[in-house]
Structure 1
Amino acid sequence: MAEKQKCSYCEEQSDKLRHPHIMGSIVVKICPTCWEVERNTHFGICGEDIGDF
């Protein structure tokens, strides 16, 4: 099982993290919940879907 790490956005512990879609930072990682928030925000602003987590 993967070790839990802290989401860079909400600071919740999660064993499922990935890098945000637009930030090229290797340090920032976000959880599925924050990904959905980013996804909806990006779609609302740009009309583009960044896809599933």
Structure 2
Amino acid sequence: MMKKIYPREGDTQTVYLNAVVADPSIEVGDYTMMIRLCGHRVLRLCGQTTL
């Protein structure tokens, strides 16, 4: 499991899902990221994901 939460210094809008998803029934890849755009409901998943 990756311990680093934010992939880029100073960017708190993007997280590695592997570092923040605790539910064992949800599988995410090592480099799967979620981006939440401020003021929008748009979510973008990047990387291999199994939900």
TM-score range, shorter chain: under 0.3
- Given the two structures, how large is their TM-score scaled by the length of structure 1? 0.22
Point out the structure with max Rg over C-alpha. Answer: 1
Larger fraction in strand: 2
Query: Which gives a bigger RCO, structure 1 or 2 (Cα 8 Å, sep 6+)?
Result: 2
Normalising by the residue count of structure 2, what TM-score does the alignment of the two structures yield?
A: 0.22
